[in-house]
Amino acid sequence: MKKFGELILQARTRSEYSLQTLSDLVGGKITPSYINRLEKGEKSNPAFIVVCLLVQALDLDFYEVLGSFGYKDIASSSPHLNADILITDEKGSTLSLECKANLSSEQKVLLNRAVTQIIHYVQADKPYGHLPNVVEVIENIRESKQKERVSKEEDLPV
């Protein structure tokens, strides 16, 4: 299991964020220097708010984050944390869904966003202008799956 700092570094690199950009994404509440020390393992016990800000900014898998702090057993015992899609509506009710499709964790995050937007749209009686965001998220999932297929085909021996 990776350490929290390794998860941050991996996600930040994948997102092509500089330390400063990530700091800006969390509203400057975490300095680039502190993020760097977390990534290098020089800081290993960040405040809960720091963890939450980074999880949100980098779309980290919360189950993986709990595991990075040595709490894999706690995470696996919670049905909500094992859900592929976890949605909290505007009233505070939580819905957890298991996704049977073979999606990567990144694709599940995108799907979670789309479903959340649809639920919020229905509950808030929002104008149709919010639905294009859902279509965009679904298109991102499709593109991601297509890239995944192409990548696998390129890796096949000739």
Residue 90 sits in the same domain as residue 39: no
Residue 116: which domain range? Answer: 85-155
| Total domains in the fold of the chain | 2
Put simply, whether the predicted model's pTM sits higher than 0.85 gets the answer no
Single out the residue in 24, 48, 76 at which a domain terminates.
76
Residue 66 sits in the same domain as residue 90: no
Residue 29 sits in the same domain as residue 66: yes
Single out the residue in 76, 105, 129 at which a domain terminates.
76
What pLDDT shows up at residue 130?
52
CA distance 63 to 74: 9
87 membership: H or E segment, kind and range: strand 85-88
Residue 68 sits in the same domain as residue 21: yes
What pLDDT shows up at residue 31?
96
pLDDT over threshold 50, residue 81: no
For the stretch 124-154, pLDDT in tens is 655 555 555 666 666 777 777 777 777 766 6
For the stretch 92-124, pLDDT in tens is 666 666 655 666 666 666 667 677 666 666 666
